[in-house]
Structure 1
């Protein structure tokens, strides 16, 4: 997309949202969008000056919805809601997630159904453009009546309150505004409510997870194929005819990728007539396990894309005469797929750890136990697998679905909530662990790969192995393996391994994408 993204007009995808948050894509408001925003704002002003009672415009909030607010107090009401709802606790939300919150809120409010003033949206956009990013605590949202607490903190700087990250330092918002010759905004009717009603906290974490989990899924195929080469496993379980008989799209996609990665491998060819009938499940069932996790990812991707282009405010302002109070702010449409994706991510780590264990067992010709020749005085790669096992176990404890719980709030007005904010944070925690689990498997798979020389694998796996070895040396005696894990994690989280795989595929005209790539790709 060469031209600026048009908030409230263009279709937002996870990739575009991330590009906007990272500053590689600019956003703007078209003249058509500005007209819609102004029209909606005028409609709210008319309601505030009239006699019709509309929730959040001239009433209190939550259980105070029957308390009528005078025309003179409607502005004070909106600033008070930001103050009163800023009750978050815990560590600060990562800055990229906060930027995603700003991006997704700008888009949702730009549809013109929230009564927000154009000047307010332009100020939010100013924060994003100038990298003056609000400080937001991680905890306090129940994921229903909007992500109230985190969104209240997000927009405190609009009225000169709260803190922001600017120039690499946490600073008081009012001081930063003064440095930039900006005045705090005076919020109009319904603006405070429009700002804090919505699912943007859940959505931001979900958008980030879509990219991160996709990266791990792509990596799991590559690293799993390297592990299979290390133990001289069979490529037969990835045959297309087998997977046509159980044609799940995710399974077929992974099986295709594994066939492609292992094609023309001397390692595979070296044992075609061996006596071993079947490999353990962690090798043989990669299409079924990785593929199922890809299907869970796809469901999350679809739900996130819908939410990115939705209005999650309440009430919805259709005109000065028509407004609808509903529940578009409820986080359940994201909470359930987030919990599903959490389980899917944990299972990718679970099977990865089992492959690491197989690599350590040795027993195959040329592959020493614990992946090191002189063991006894050396422990070899025994202990990195402990770290992997610990992370797998930790992920299991994080798999309880947050969306299975609901605690009534707002004196019973909000009697069912999604807890989707917890789902979003937990998924990213599990992905944090998964990246390190894959890092452990990767250094072990690369070590096993070395013992298969002078045989060569396929071009893509050879290039990935070469990249790993450019950062992490082969080990024939003990060293601080935490340093290796850290380097491997950097290769994983940066996307370098996947980029290398696709670059080599393109260079040699190898199709690594298959028929299902568009389904299972964030790009």
Structure 2
């Protein structure tokens, strides 16, 4: 009886401890979100960062336009007005667009052209784009236009700022954009009181949404409709959100793989820093640094350091595979940040030279290629993660109970989550096929080569979701593996992660419904809980 009472009390203490950890996790997540949402972001001539964009789009930080940018936009607009009065031939101002650029537009028809451009180009199809992505596109429109190379009026750009700050989010169909034009057109419809928008959780017609937010529709002058729908802002905005989430994934993957390394009794000699000295890719060195910090003071790692001569590549090559993916991420991050702060309208207005140039800065080749590359990178993170899951569940490799559960004849344990991971990995392989090489002519041949950058961005988002889920399954299995190595302890930092996981997902002693556990793990990763927790203990994990 006394023994039973002690076991009962121990279980109560464990539950209480897990609830405290879960409460701390929630508080930490809320604190991080508040920090990201409190400061106003100034849209200026200085560079806008990915973190700033995410703080606006995901965490609702407010924005303002700098006085310098306002003055530059005014000068640029004055030049457009002079072009109109002089009847100068300027693409999209005094001519039609696309193959209609050979058609001259009368002065009294130019304003009609701008409204017609928005209406005709708002031709997207499919389910609505997520609100944070629409908001990100709006922010990139504001940044692009405020550089002063578009000739758009300050009033029009400030109308966009109002939509962002009031969270009036246009309904934007997800499919049909080859790289520009369509998303922005659905956004611009709301500015003129048309289309549809979400306001305070309700989907309304554009004019009603504006009215409820205390706003009125705007009228567009020459070139403004064209400027609103032009540029590479949609693929760049989605790409920036993807890069932010990819950073979280790359950091998380190091943590998750370290847990699996422990559960599989890995030998840490393969993580010796000298390895990185003789193969000095930045990503390899960064991964080695992270792994050694994560495994420091581990009883398990010390006990099993000589257990095998060498581990399988899914364990031994973590620095090389994760490292290559980090190098890819850093390249893509650089491309996205350059594009975020570039002028991608057409034509471009150079007010200091009183000139306009019709160019192809609206072509998104750099972004499309980069996003396709990042898709391959994250698919590799998912690939190697699934291989570690497979080893954890296969007793011939792990020397742990089959499928990580006692009495595996009656119980299937984590058998089927590996099926899920394998399926998602297979899907990722299809999504990793590049979009950028699948260019197809549009606009009667005037736009005979397009980047398909938005398609690249959208399939990348699918890979991100799948990879978060796969890493969640791996972490769930890795923690279960640690349970079978008790009383040995992992490192203090990984034990903290173990306790965090257990505060959401209990140990699997017999079969239960698992989809809720998988979803909990996915959310922990998606909401940055794992990275926030580990960095609160160890400081910043590095990505190169």
Query: TM class, shorter-chain normalised?
Result: over 0.9
Q: Show the counterpart of 1:318.
A: 350
Q: Show the counterpart of 2:326.
A: 294
Q: What is the aligned length? A: 507
Q: Show the counterpart of 2:309.
A: 277
Q: Show the counterpart of 2:31.
A: none
Is 1:5 matched up with 2:41? yes
CA contact (8 A) 1:4 1:26 kept: yes
CA contact (8 A) 2:266 2:305 kept: no
CA distance in 1 between counterparts of 2:536 and 2:318 reads 24
Q: Show the counterpart of 2:289.
A: 256
**TM norm structure 2:** 0.91
Q: Show the counterpart of 1:114.
A: 150
Is 1:497 matched up with 2:530? yes
Is 1:148 matched up with 2:181? yes
More helix by share: 2
CA distance in 2 between counterparts of 1:417 and 1:366 reads 53
CA distance in 2 between counterparts of 1:5 and 1:101 reads 16
CA distance in 2 between counterparts of 1:322 and 1:365 reads 69
Offset of residue 51 of structure 1: 2.5
CA contact (8 A) 2:480 2:508 kept: yes
Q: For the structure 1 residues 117 and 131, does the alpha-carbon distance in structure 2 shift closer, same or farther, using more than 3 Å as the test?
A: same
CA distance in 1 between counterparts of 2:531 and 2:45 reads 33
CA distance in 2 between counterparts of 1:27 and 1:419 reads 30
CA distance in 2 between counterparts of 1:3 and 1:163 reads 29
Tell me which of 435, 438, 460 is aligned to 1:402.
435
Q: Show the counterpart of 2:26.
A: none
Q: Secondary structure at the match of 2:126?
A: strand
Structural mapping, 1:8-157, within 5 Å? 8-23=44-59, 25-143=61-179, 147-157=180-190
CA distance in 1 between counterparts of 2:110 and 2:197 reads 27
Q: Show the counterpart of 1:461.
A: 494
Offset of residue 365 of structure 1: 8.3
Consecutive unaligned residues of structure 2, counting only runs of 5 or more, are: 1-35
CA distance in 1 between counterparts of 2:398 and 2:71 reads 72
Offset of residue 363 of structure 1: 4.4
Tell me which of 458, 483, 498 is aligned to 1:425.
458
Runs of 4+ aligned residues of structure 1 deviating over 6 Å after TM superposition are: none
Offset of residue 188 of structure 1: 0.2
Q: Show the counterpart of 1:347.
A: 380
Offset of residue 28 of structure 1: 1.5
Deviates more, 1:225-234 or 1:20-29: 20-29
CA contact (8 A) 1:8 1:109 kept: no
CA distance in 2 between counterparts of 1:282 and 1:184 reads 57
Is 1:372 matched up with 2:405? yes
CA distance in 1 between counterparts of 2:416 and 2:84 reads 66
Q: For the structure 1 residues 60 and 244, does the alpha-carbon distance in structure 2 shift closer, same or farther, using more than 3 Å as the test?
A: same
Tell me which of 459, 464, 468 is aligned to 1:435.
468
Consecutive unaligned residues of structure 1, counting only runs of 5 or more, are: 507-511
Q: Secondary structure at the match of 1:90?
A: strand
Q: For the aligned residues, what is the CA RMSD?
A: 1.5
CA distance in 2 between counterparts of 1:202 and 1:114 reads 19
Q: For the structure 1 residues 372 and 83, does the alpha-carbon distance in structure 2 shift closer, same or farther, using more than 3 Å as the test?
A: same
Q: Show the counterpart of 1:172.
A: 205
Q: Secondary structure at the match of 1:404?
A: coil
Offset of residue 49 of structure 1: 1.4
CA distance in 1 between counterparts of 2:419 and 2:368 reads 32
CA distance in 2 between counterparts of 1:471 and 1:183 reads 47
CA distance in 2 between counterparts of 1:34 and 1:417 reads 32
Deviates more, 1:338-347 or 1:17-26: 17-26
Q: Show the counterpart of 2:510.
A: 477
Q: Show the counterpart of 1:448.
A: 481
**TM norm structure 1:** 0.94
Q: Secondary structure at the match of 2:198?
A: strand
CA distance in 1 between counterparts of 2:443 and 2:397 reads 63
Q: For 1:113-157, what per-residue CA distance to the aligned partner results, in whole angstroms no more than 9, with x for missing partners?
A: 1111111011111111111111111112212xxx11111111101
